[in-house]
């Protein structure tokens, strides 16, 4: 076989291999979407536009060339429906382009850097969707990218999905009101359901009120925020981690458990007195409710709190 014929034959083999690889990835995308439907989970890439709106993130920093982790690329600018969350190709992908890039990777040819926006630990592809898809299909862990950082108050992480953007939006408003991210940079208070940050703001308001009574002075709001975090939230979270309580409640977060443990702390303080600490309440919560499902544990805590509150109500006077 002549050299031109050998090169042609090699290209044909590479082309057929790339076509087979693409069809394999398409099948994986189909089954991935079906499994997500059955599990009632989101399987789309994060929309950059939706995430930026939720975070009110507009400040753009100068771009820089970096080598980034492929598994942290979980979002897209405008093409979040064309690929699955794992960048498996759907109908919106271009088969010819995908296969050409796959064959280039097989030949170890260098590809140009992709272009991404970065919010927190998450990257959103602006240019290079097919390159990312091919990289993931070939087990590539790192890829060269022109990174454009976007400033955000919420520490967005790669496990956030499209269904949690309402929670992200509420978290952003909570930080804007409390400045907790600047007062305590290590904080990360993320709920599994929307509507919970309003309760935290109520906790802070009540905490501030009682601080004022004890100190006999007006307590600045930020002082109340930091004291609430240092004396209530952080000790409970530390106990949650120390006792591995979160292991008993899959799909929930430390912030979720904080709210239930606060209710449990109220119940214990009514039964045993104010000397019960939040950390002790967390440990008692784990001991009593650790083996129950989340719903049963929540119901049990609510019933206990109602009993404690009812016991404090004045008894009707008898004649």
The stretch 31-51 carries a mean pLDDT of: 91
Final residue before a domain boundary, out of 133, 149, 165: 149
> Lowest-pLDDT range, 62-71, 183-192, 269-278?
269-278
Flag whether 34 is in a domain.
yes
Is 11 in the same domain as 138?
yes
Predicted confidence (pLDDT) at residue 214 exceeds the cutoff of 70 = yes
Flag whether 170 is in a domain.
no
DSSP 203-257: HHHHHHHHHHHHHTSPPPHHHHHHHHIIIIIHHHHHHHHHTTGGGGSTT--HHHH
Is 276 in the same domain as 236?
yes
Residue 262 has a pLDDT of 82
Is 93 in the same domain as 185?
no
Whether the CA torsion 284, 287, 264, 243 is positive or negative: it is: positive
Is 206 in the same domain as 284?
yes
Residue 315 has a pLDDT of 46
Question: What pLDDT, in 10s, does the model give residues 5-15?
Answer: 445 455 656 67
Flag whether 171 is in a domain.
no
Predicted confidence (pLDDT) at residue 260 exceeds the cutoff of 90 = no
Question: pLDDT confidence of 17, banded at 50, 70, 90?
Answer: confident
Predicted confidence (pLDDT) at residue 137 exceeds the cutoff of 70 = yes
Is 72 in the same domain as 125?
yes
Question: Count of domains in the chain?
Answer: 2
Predicted confidence (pLDDT) at residue 113 exceeds the cutoff of 80 = yes
The 10 Å Cβ neighbour count of residue 155 is 17
Is 144 in the same domain as 270?
no
Flag whether 272 is in a domain.
yes
Question: pLDDT confidence of 304, banded at 50, 70, 90?
Answer: very low
Is 18 in the same domain as 61?
yes
The most confident of 54-63, 89-98, 295-304, by mean pLDDT: 89-98
CATH number of the domain encompassing residue 84:
3.90.1530.10
Is 202 in the same domain as 138?
no
Is 139 in the same domain as 275?
no
Average pLDDT score, the chain? 83
Is 193 in the same domain as 304?
yes
Flag whether 204 is in a domain.
yes
pTM: 0.77
Predicted confidence (pLDDT) at residue 39 exceeds the cutoff of 90 = no
Residues of the chain with pLDDT > 70, as a percent, come to 78
SS3 94: coil
Is 134 in the same domain as 184?
no
- Per the structure, the complete domain to which residue 304 belongs is given by 179-312
């Amino acid at each position: 076989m002549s050299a031109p014929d050998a090169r042609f034959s090699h290209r044909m083999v590479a082309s057929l291999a790339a076509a087979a690889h693409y069809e394999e990835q398409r099948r994986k995308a189909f089954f991935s979407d079906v499994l997500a439907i059955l599990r009632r989970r989101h399987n789309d890439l994060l929309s950059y536009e939706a995430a930026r709106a939720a975070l009110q993130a507009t400040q753009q920093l100068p771009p820089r060339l970096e080598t980034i982790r492929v598994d942290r690329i979980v979002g897209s600018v405008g093409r979040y429906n064309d690929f699955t969350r794992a960048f498996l190709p759907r109908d919106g992908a271009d088969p010819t382009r995908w296969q050409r890039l796959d064959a280039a990777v097989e030949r170890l040819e260098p590809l140009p850097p992709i272009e991404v926006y970065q919010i927190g630990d998450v990257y959103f592809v602006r240019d290079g969707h097919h390159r990312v898809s091919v990289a993931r299909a070939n087990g590539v862990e790192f890829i060269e990218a022109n990174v454009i950082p976007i400033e955000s108050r919420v520490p967005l992480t790669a496990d956030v999905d499209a269904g949690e953007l309402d929670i992200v939006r509420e978290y952003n408003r909570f930080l804007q009101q409390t400045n907790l991210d600047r007062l305590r940079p290590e904080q990360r208070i993320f709920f599994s359901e929307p509507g919970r940050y309003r309760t935290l703001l109520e906790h802070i308001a009540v905490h501030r009120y009682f601080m004022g009574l004890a100190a006999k002075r007006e307590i600045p709001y930020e002082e109340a925020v930091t004291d609430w975090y240092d004396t209530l939230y952080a000790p409970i979270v530390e106990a949650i981690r120390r006792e591995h309580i979160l292991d008993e409640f899959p799909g929930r977060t430390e912030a979720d458990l904080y709210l239930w443990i606060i209710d449990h702390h109220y119940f214990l303080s009514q039964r045993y007195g104010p000397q019960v600490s939040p950390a002790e309440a967390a440990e008692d919560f784990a001991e009593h409710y650790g083996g129950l499902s989340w719903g049963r544990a929540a119901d049990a805590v609510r019933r206990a709190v109602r009993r404690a509150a009812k016991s404090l109500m004045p008894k009707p006077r008898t004649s």
